[in-house]
Structures are given as C-alpha cells and as structure tokens.
Amino acid sequence: MADASRPDDTDAAGGVSSRRLFVYNAGFLRARRIRRILALSGWDISLGLPREGDWIGVWGRSPYAVRGEAVAQRRSTPLLRVEDAFLRSVLPGRAGGPPLGLHLDRRGAHFDSAQPSDLEHLLATHPLDDTALLNRARDAIQRLKRAHLSKYNAFDPDLPVPDPGYVLVIDQTRGDASIRHGAGSDSLFNEMLAFAQIEHPGARILLKTHPETAQGFRIGHYGPGHEDARTQLYADPVSPWALLEGAIAIYTVTSQMGFEAILAGHRPRVFGQPFYGGWGLTQDENPCPRRERRLTRAQLFAAAMILYPVWYDPFSDRLCELETAIDTLEAEVRAWRDDHAGHVASGMRLWKRRPLQRVFGRQKRLIFRDDPAEATELAQQTGRGLLVWAGKEDEAHQGRIRRVEDGFLRSRGLGANLVPPLSLVADDLGIYYDPTRPSRLEHLIAASVHLTPTEIEHSERLIRDICTLKLSKYNIGAGDFPHLEAGHRILVPGQVEDDASIRKGCGDCATNLDLLRRTREANPQAVILYKPHPDVETGLRAGRIEPETALLYASQIITGTDPVALISEVHEVWTMTSLLGFEALLRDVPVTTLGAPFYAGWGLTRDLGPVPERRTARPSLAQLVHATLIGYPRYHDPVTDMPCPAEVVMQRLATGTVPRPGPANRLLSKAQGLLASRAHLWR
C-alpha cells in the first residue's frame, strides 16, 4: 500500500520528488527537526501563496492551523496536517525536545473523528495480515514495555507506584485539540470520574496528571477539588507502563495513554472518539459509527506505529524504520534517566574530564572532587549520584555509586595515549572485570535469555557488522601482516599485568609468562603466536617479557599488527581475561580462559580459571553480545554530540569520524612515554 504521508510524484530516477508545502505558522520555520523530516519526506517548505499542484501545511488542528485552512479553502489547495508521532522525545516540545517522528496526514488529523484520517483509513482498509509486520509489532510492543518508553519520557521507571488495585482515570490538558475534535469536552471529564466512582465502589481512584500539567506548561481538568477519601491526584513522574500494570480499570477521554493501556493488556473505558477507539479493543461510551472492523493489538500497533508515522534517524540524517527510532529514543532516555539528577565525579584524571562531561554532564554539569570523603559528602548534600573511576574506588566512597570504565567499542587509539572514548560504562553494582562480586553486566547477561526475536536479530546484525567492518576496542594495528608458521595456530594475547582484571580475575595464572607456559604445556605441538598488549608495546604499562624468554614457549612474537586480522588467521585463543577473547568469540574462534573475564562461565568458552559459580545462565552468543554491546555501555556520537546506539559509534569508527587527542593531550602522551615508570602520576 502506498504511504499516504509522502507525495505521489516520483522523479526520473524513481525517487520521491519534492512538492511545495506552503506554511503560515512560524513554528515550521523555527523547528529545524520538523523542517528536515518534511524535506526528507518530499515536502519543500515555502512561503507565499500556493499555485496548482502545491499543498498547504498546518500543525494538526492548532489555533494557528486556521490561517492555512482559510488559504486552502480560498484557493482550493489540499492540506497536509502535521503532528508529532506517538513516540516523541524525552521532554515535551515546550521544554525543547525535538520530535523523533511525524504524522503527515493528507486526509485529516488522527485525533479528529469528524472525518477519516490516513490512520483511520489504514485501520479500516489495510489487510494488516502480514506475518512479518505483525511480528515486528509484537516485538516493538515488548521493547517499549521493557524499556518503559512512552510519548514523553521524563520519568523514572524505578520510582515506586501505588500498591495494585486502583482505578486509573487519565487527565488531559485543557483545550487540547484531541478532546475538542475527538467528541470530547471539558464537562466529560467530570462525567468520566463519576462513572469510575460509581462502577468501582470502594476502590482507590488515581487521577493521573498529564506530564505537561505536572511540569507547569498547561492546566488539566482535575484539581484538589476533585479529591476525596478514595480519590487522589497523582502526578509522580513514574513509568506509565508500571502504573498501568497495577490498575484494575482505565478510564480516558482521548489520551494516548489509553492506547498504551491497550498495549499493556487492558480494555480501557473510553468516553471520546480517539483513533484507537471503535476497533473492538475498548469499551466505548460514545463509539464512532463508521468504525466496524475488529482488530488485534498487534494490528492496531502496526498501523499506528509502523505504517502511519514518518520516523527520523538524526545520526545518519535519513528517514528510518520504527526499530531504529526506538534505538535512538532508548539511548536518549537512558542518558536522561541516568543523569538528570546530576553527578559528583571522583577519581577522574584531568584529561578524562572533558569527554566525561560530554557524556554524563548533559543534564547537569559534573562536579569533580578527587577526595573520596568530600565527593561523598557533596553528593549526599546535593542529591546527586556519585561517579567513580572503577580503579579509583575507595572505602570513603559511599551512597549511589556508579563505577565508570571504558566501553568495548572505545576509540581509534589507546586510552593510554589519551584518545577520548566513544563508549563508557557506569555500573551501579560492581564492574565488569571484577568477578569477585556481581556486576550490572552479569545481570544483563543472565537476563538476556529472555530477549525478543527482534532484539536477537539486532544483536546478530551487530556481530555481522563488527566482523565486516573489522572493528575492535581500540582499532589500531599496522596494515602489514607477518608471515605465520603453518600448523594449528593459537593466539595468546598479552595483557597489562597490573590491570585490575588480572588482579581481580586471575588465580594461579596471573602473568603473561604464566599464560604462555600454560598454553605451551597444554599444546606442545601447536604454533603459539604471542601478541604483547599495545600499552606494553609502547612502554606505558607493565607486562613486558624479554623476547628470548617469550620464545621459550611461543613460536612467534607478533607486534604492531591489527589483532582483528590476526584472529582470522588462528584456530584458537588462549587468554587470562583479555577482551581479545570476546572479540574472538564474535568471529567464531574457540576461546580458552585461564582467568575469569566477563564472557567466561556462560557456556561459550572453555574455562580453566576461577569462574564464579553464580554464572548459571546459558545465553547464546547473540544474547551475550546484546548484553555486552547494547545493554551495558553508553555511547556518544562525536558528530551530533548526542547519546546514540552502538551502530552509530561503529560507523564513526569505521569511517574515522572520531575525536582525536588535542595538542595538550598529544604533548602529555609523549611525556608519558618518557615517564612510563611513573605511570601512577597520570593513570
């Protein structure tokens, strides 16, 4: 079926040609994101008076829409009604949040029941029977519920909700067009409340305040005068999904939360005529007579969220599918929820502070305090969280601690060379390289066995792209490849011997020489390739083995070579805790561990080290990768300066569009090489 939101005309090359869209509302000119989505959809915003073949664009049925409507009527020009999509942003538009997608409707407005809209036309006439489409819809519903995503998302899903058993009556803002044009009225809210009280005698009733009312932008219909012994206003910034879960009944006029109630498994009582009413999924007090079809939840969602909207990917500046839009919103929402209360940061070296500020200080600037006791006290006094570089945690650090470390797709260049990271982790339980206690990553890996099929496909695509683009943590190494001896090759990656992953995660094998010796003892006939760690090669960290000593056990010493290219030439990897073992798993190379890295103990590696007994889950590789590369790190796009999904960082690393150390960092990096024996001064 043709997409009704886009112009019909195609150019000679088969692409969509632009059609002039005349607007009479300055908001179209000020809102860069809206202009861009319209342009990508084939609409060229123009000023003046339309001619034959032109269109007029108006914002839904806003007060300003009458200007365009009047011109359209006088000049017999068709109208395009523009509205925000049902997943919009973190903050409301009035708070500056740009939309993630738009509804571009050529028949009407989705909330205007006086005449069919493009959305109603889809719901009434589209077959909605494609298995792939409906599976996408079901998976997306699960993703929204699991990630607690809604139209606006400035709420904390961890905040407690009232005990279950309440009736939820949903308020809306006064004067909202969806009420006026959805067969609603202000007086209907009092009637709806009366119905809820009569139909549920003795039950608690929560009057859910609209987010824009709670934030002081617009007034609602319910106030203190509507409260009594069992009826109360409820404006806490909690997850709508969590609130819906505890409700025994839902009452709404035309609120989008009624749509979410359907997705959550409810059959809401509806007093207006919203787009989701009349399809057999609601109890309609005032049904729309022309809506006679009966739909499933997946069909309703597929039309409203997949077929109808135009979604935008800000990182590649293109239109995209719903799933990509969800990825984008998840990244933004996660950053807001983690950081909106602000942080005090402790144990952060000077050169790290600017990139940390860009990632964790977008909502409130980080306050840096090196002294652990002072940092703890300041965090407690201000209600902020406490970020501590994982290796710098002290007993004096107390409270809501998140341990910060580099992510697994980090940069083009070493952290020891002061190259800023594109990904960071902030772990509220432990840290991924410390197996002596649980970490957030462990929890995510254990939970990954419950991922949806779409999430697993996402992870599998990520694995394929990483392998195709030949990406690793640091993405360094020479292009020249050494001659390798023939035979059963085993790669042994050296590590920094004073690294925390060695100190915390190794038993009786805790040095590079121990690792080489154990590998040779177990594989006397193999070709063992020893690759020193890059930081050790440059002289910045401990762990050097003299070549003549290494060659007592290794067949060859490989230096300055891209480790990813090397993995493709070997049959096994033996390691203590190196991330190279994880990168080998991505490429289907068997891995033996002699320590307890985060990827050991889940049934995907041969483990000879002290792996924690609590790692009992048996995820697939795709599930492990989803937890490790999608669920655990936070990514930052250096181009848009926004939180982003993993795929964006992968593309930046592949194309070289990444931050590089400035002059001061390069000078300091050179000084480090001269002062390698005093690494404690800069690490």
How deeply is 202 buried, as exposed, middle or buried, from its count of CB atoms within 10 A (0-12, 13-18, 19+)? exposed
Does residue 683 carry a pLDDT above 50? no
Taking residue 648's Cβ as centre, other Cβ atoms within 10 Å add up to 25
Does residue 668 carry a pLDDT above 70? no
Looking at the fold, whether 213 and 246 belong to one and the same domain comes out as yes
Q: CATH number of the domain at 547, please.
A: 3.40.50
- Kindly state the average pLDDT of the residues 547-575: 93
What six digits make up the tokens of 251?
Answer: 């009452």
Answer yes or no: is 130 within a domain.
no
Looking at the fold, whether 508 and 632 belong to one and the same domain comes out as yes
Read off the pLDDT band of 96 (50, 70, 90).
Answer: confident
Q: Using the structure block, give the residue that is written with the tokens 């009479």.
A: 24
What is the pLDDT, as a whole number, of residue 522? 97
What's the domain count of the chain?
3
- Kindly state the average pLDDT of the residues 211-216: 86
- Kindly state the average pLDDT of the residues 651-680: 60
Looking at the fold, whether 394 and 499 belong to one and the same domain comes out as no
Answer yes or no: is 540 within a domain.
yes
Looking at the fold, whether 573 and 459 belong to one and the same domain comes out as yes
Dihedral sign of CA atoms 566, 571, 576, 582 in order: positive
Taking residue 480's Cβ as centre, other Cβ atoms within 10 Å add up to 8
- Kindly state the average pLDDT of the residues 239-250: 97
Mean pLDDT score of the chain: 91
Which has the closest alpha carbon to 336: 360, 368, 312?
360
Looking at the fold, whether 263 and 410 belong to one and the same domain comes out as no
Answer yes or no: is 567 within a domain.
yes
* Domain boundary pick from 401, 436, 471: 436
Torsions phi, psi for 681 (to 5 deg): -75, -25
Looking at the fold, whether 478 and 536 belong to one and the same domain comes out as yes
Looking at the fold, whether 397 and 465 belong to one and the same domain comes out as no
Answer yes or no: is 203 within a domain.
yes
Read off the pLDDT band of 670 (50, 70, 90).
Answer: very low
Does residue 299 carry a pLDDT above 80? yes
Q: Using the structure block, give the residue that is written with the tokens 């999608």.
A: 630
Answer yes or no: is 77 within a domain.
no
Looking at the fold, whether 375 and 414 belong to one and the same domain comes out as yes
Question: Higher pLDDT residue, 538 or 91?
Answer: 91
Q: Any idea which of 30-34, 273-277, 373-377, 657-661 has the lowest mean pLDDT?
A: 657-661
What is the pLDDT, as a whole number, of residue 573? 98
Looking at the fold, whether 359 and 413 belong to one and the same domain comes out as yes
Answer yes or no: is 661 within a domain.
no
Looking at the fold, whether 420 and 539 belong to one and the same domain comes out as no
The string of DSSP letters for 143-165 reads HHHHHT--SB--S-TTS--PPS-
Looking at the fold, whether 264 and 350 belong to one and the same domain comes out as no
pLDDT tens-digit map of 308-346: 999 999 999 999 999 999 999 999 999 999 999 999 999
Q: Is residue 137 within 8 Å of 301, Cβ to Cβ? A: yes
- Kindly state the average pLDDT of the residues 587-592: 98
Q: Is residue 508 within 8 Å of 521, Cβ to Cβ? A: no
What is the pLDDT, as a whole number, of residue 480? 66
Does residue 645 carry a pLDDT above 50? yes
Looking at the fold, whether 514 and 422 belong to one and the same domain comes out as no
Percent of the chain with pLDDT over 90: 82
What is the pLDDT, as a whole number, of residue 681? 44
pLDDT tens-digit map of 130-178: 999 999 999 999 999 999 999 999 999 999 999 999 999 999 999 999 9
- Kindly state the average pLDDT of the residues 529-543: 79
586 to each of 413, 459, 461, 581, 623, how far by Cα in Å?
Answer: 21, 11, 11, 9, 12
Answer yes or no: is 176 within a domain.
yes
- Kindly state the average pLDDT of the residues 241-258: 98
Answer yes or no: is 429 within a domain.
yes
What is the pLDDT, as a whole number, of residue 278? 97
Residue 539's domain comprises: 446-655
pTM (predicted TM-score) = 0.90
What is the pLDDT, as a whole number, of residue 415? 60
Percent of the chain with pLDDT over 70: 92
